[in-house]
Amino acid sequence: MRVDLHTHTAVVSICSRILPAEMVAAALQRGLDGICITDHVFDGQTLCRNPASPYAGYRAVRQIAEGSGLVVLPGIEFSFDEGDFLVYGLEEAVLQALGQDYCLDTCLALAQGVGSVVVQAHPFRRGGRPVQGVDAIETCNGGCSDAHNQQAEMWSQQNGVLGVAGSDAHQKWEVGRCYTILEADCSTVTGLCEAIRRRRVRGLSH
């Protein structure tokens, strides 16, 4: 399956301009089999339009995609001092119970406790570095320079950490510019998490 693991909708993420119907159309035009909606939660910069419903964008895209054959999966993007992190498989009730008083260590511990998967997004952007304890890092991010992506790929190989890819789309033309090949049935977020944990994935640019 060809899945874009990192996209943002205008329903939730203030920085995005992609409406749900545009997201579906763009993904299908790119020939993707699936997309993950990873809208922002509050990070001190008010990147979320509706903190009380961070999966609203995912639900809107999934509804429009019904019958199209496109798999739509939920995720979320957290931002901490250590960088940005994509979490898959975190139920909305658990997310809401966190409130806004949490740190990276809390997020990692919670994800591990409930069987979620954590991916560090664009680890070398803005002078960042990969952190310990994540399941994977993005080695191909559509919003990063080739140099940053190459740096992430090299670090991934040297340290034995899985590399994945996502477009980080905020405009409709950006959807699918990087995507991940999932070597398993990932029609559910549980399947996605299992594929990442078992390292049955590889990241590519379009």
* pLDDT band, residue 112 (cuts 50/70/90): confident
Quick one: average pLDDT of 85-114?
A: 84
* Nearest CA-CA partner of 90 in 116, 112, 70, 68: 116
Range(s) of the domain holding residue 68: 2-205
pLDDT per position as a tens digit, 133-178: 999 999 999 999 999 999 999 999 999 999 999 999 999 999 999 9
Tens-place pLDDT, residues 13-30:
988 999 999 999 999 999
Residue pair 35/27 in contact by the 8 Å Cβ criterion: yes
> What 8-state DSSP symbol labels residue 86?
E
- The predicted-structure confidence for 40-60, as pLDDT tens digits, reads as follows 885 544 455 665 678 999 999
- What pLDDT sits at residue 41? 80
Amino acid 92: pLDDT: 82
- Residue 156, token pair as written in the block: 């991934």
Average pLDDT in the chain: 90
Order of strands, sheet of 71-80, starting from the edge strand that comes earlier in the sequence = 162-166, 136-141, 117-121, 83-88, 71-80, 34-40, 2-7, 178-182, 201-205
Q: Supply angle C-alpha 71, 179, 164, rounded to 5.
A: 110
Angle, helices 20-29 vs 56-65, to 10°: value is: 50
Helices (H) and strands (E) in the chain, counts: 6, 9
Give phi and psi for 37, each to the nearest 5: -95, 115
pLDDT at 103: 84
Q: Per-residue pLDDT for 202 more than 90?
A: no
174: which DSSP letter? G
Q: Which residue has the higher pLDDT, 115 or 127?
A: 115
Rg (CA), the chain: 15
Question: Above 80 in pLDDT, residue 117?
Answer: yes
We report the CATH number of the domain holding residue 133 as 3.20.20.140
Please tell me the predicted confidence (pLDDT) of residue 101: 66
Query: Which stretches within 66-159 are classed as H helix?
Result: 92-98, 104-114, 146-159
Domain count, the chain: 1
Q: Is the pLDDT of residue 6 over 90?
A: yes
